[in-house]
């Protein structure tokens, strides 16, 4: 059995590196990816640390590839092109299916369990799911429906609210049950890829729960990494209880309900004007999305 998770770096590391290699510049890569220059630099550095190799030579915002970087850039570009082509072929071969897109966390924790439950039933049609933390990828895709995270429906799209975003601390139930002093907790944090994301720094600044400000804060490579660490009992992550419904219901995570905050943002179901058909609407009902 091939264990790609153990041998390959996270896909977003490779996506960021490929953009940097192609542009030869952190700033232009950041503009394409719709994230900050610092986020791009951090992802590339994380990839280098993961591999134990220098991939780029930095000269301000401009970069040049090392020999190892050139080899990896070529392979990464070819692999991503192949994956993109395969996804397109699959979508074209299954016109009666349903294609969805969403950010990585809602894809993993909210959509995938619902899709899997539907697919194991009888008479299920194919469902494809595109996961990306870049709005440009989501809104530029040819999917039937997108789960979009923001303060409003994007201009030029139709849509409706799926649920409001509420953030609160989450951790393994045993850890939550043993909490006596929140200052002793380890906060599992991450750097934001875009300003609209919400992390522990935002939470501490926008709430009056001073104890969290005194707790140890550990910066991990991504939001998904913070949840993964929380599921392994390494500390307390932030999460939206609606997104993490399955993890909470299965008692893999427990919320600290006394510490929730409403961010004013929502998860929307959006689609291109005129694209919502009775067939798509019925298929969405099968995975508990009601329009």
Task: Please give the Cα distance from 86 to 80 (Å, whole number).
Answer: 10
Go through the chain and tell me how many residues it has.
291
**pLDDT in the model for residue 5:** 67
The 3-state DSSP class for residue 98 equals: strand
**pLDDT in the model for residue 165:** 94
Q: Tell me how crowded residue 168 is: count the other CB atoms within 10 A of its CB.
A: 18
pLDDT band at residue 93 under the 50/70/90 scheme: low
- Tell me what the mean pLDDT of segment 231-240 comes to: 96
pLDDT band at residue 88 under the 50/70/90 scheme: low
- The region of weakest confidence among 70-79, 129-138, 268-277 is 129-138
**pLDDT in the model for residue 1:** 42
Task: Please give the Cα distance from 129 to 144 (Å, whole number).
Answer: 10
- The region of weakest confidence among 26-40, 65-79, 104-118 is 26-40
- The region of weakest confidence among 43-47, 106-110, 119-123, 264-268 is 119-123
Task: Please give the Cα distance from 73 to 248 (Å, whole number).
Answer: 40
Q: Which residues contact 273 (CB under 8 A, 6 or more apart)?
A: 156, 157, 158
- Tell me what the mean pLDDT of segment 17-40 comes to: 85
What is the rounded radius of gyration, in angstroms, for the C-alpha atoms of the chain?
Answer: 20
**pLDDT in the model for residue 169:** 98
Q: What string of DSSP letters covers 221-278?
A: SSHHHHHHHHHTTS-BEEE-TTTTHHHHHTTSSEE-GGG-EEEEEEEEEEE-TT---H
Chain-centre distance for alpha carbon 40: 15
**pLDDT in the model for residue 94:** 55
151 neighbors 195 (Cβ within 8 angstroms): no
**pLDDT in the model for residue 121:** 83
Give yes or no for residue 37 having a pLDDT over 70: yes
Distances (CA, A) of 249 to 64, 167, 246: 48, 17, 5
Q: Which fold has domain 4-88?
A: Arc Repressor Mutant, subunit A (1.10.10)
Residue 137: name the closest of 186, 104, 177 by CA. 104
- Tell me what the mean pLDDT of segment 148-155 comes to: 94
**β-pair partners for 267:** 149, 163
- Tell me what the mean pLDDT of segment 252-270 comes to: 95
Max CA-CA distance within the chain? 57
128 neighbors 157 (Cβ within 8 angstroms): no
- Region(s) of the chain under CATH 3.40.190.290: 94-291
Give yes or no for residue 167 having a pLDDT over 70: yes
**β-pair partners for 269:** 147, 160
pLDDT in tens, 178-192: 998 999 999 999 988
- Region(s) of the chain under CATH 1.10.10.10: 4-88
**pLDDT in the model for residue 133:** 87
Pairing between strand 98-102 and 145-150? parallel
Q: Tell me how crowded residue 206 is: count the other CB atoms within 10 A of its CB.
A: 12
- The region of weakest confidence among 153-157, 163-167, 203-207, 218-222 is 218-222
Task: Please give the Cα distance from 87 to 95 (Å, whole number).
Answer: 13
**Domain spanning 94-291 has what CATH number?**
3.40.190.290
């Amino acid at each position: 059995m091939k264990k790609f998770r153990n041998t390959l770096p996270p896909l977003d590391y490779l996506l960021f590196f490929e953009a940097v290699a192609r542009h030869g510049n952190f700033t232009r890569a950041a503009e394409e990816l719709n994230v900050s220059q610092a986020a791009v630099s951090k992802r590339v550095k994380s990839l280098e640390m993961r591999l134990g190799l220098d991939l780029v030579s930095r000269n301000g915002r401009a970069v040049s590839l090392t020999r190892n970087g050139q080899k990896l850039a070529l392979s990464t570009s070819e692999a991503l092109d192949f994956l993109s082509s395969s996804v397109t072929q699959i979508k074209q071969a299954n016109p009666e299916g349903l294609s969805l897109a969403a950010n990585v966390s809602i894809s993993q924790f909210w959509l995938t369990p619902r899709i899997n439950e539907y697919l194991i039933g009888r008479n299920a049609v194919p469902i494809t799911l595109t996961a990306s933390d870049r709005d440009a990828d989501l809104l530029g895709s040819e999917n039937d429906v997108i789960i979009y995270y923001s303060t409003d429906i994007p201009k030029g799209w139709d849509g409706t609210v799926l649920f409001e975003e509420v953030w609160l601390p989450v951790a393994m139930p045993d850890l939550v049950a043993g909490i006596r002093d929140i200052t002793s907790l380890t906060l599992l944090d991450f750097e934001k890829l875009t300003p609209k994301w919400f992390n522990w720094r935002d939470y501490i600044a926008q709430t009056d729960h001073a104890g969290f400000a005194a707790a140890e804060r550990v910066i991990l490579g991504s939001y998904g990494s913070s949840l993964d660490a929380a599921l392994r009992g390494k500390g307390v992550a932030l999460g939206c209880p609606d997104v993490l419904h399955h993890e909470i219901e299965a008692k893999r995570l427990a919320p600290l309900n006394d510490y929730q905050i409403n961010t004013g943002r929502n998860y929307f179901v959006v689609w291109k004007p005129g694209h919502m058909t009775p067939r798509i609407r019925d298929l969405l009902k099968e995975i508990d999305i009601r329009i």
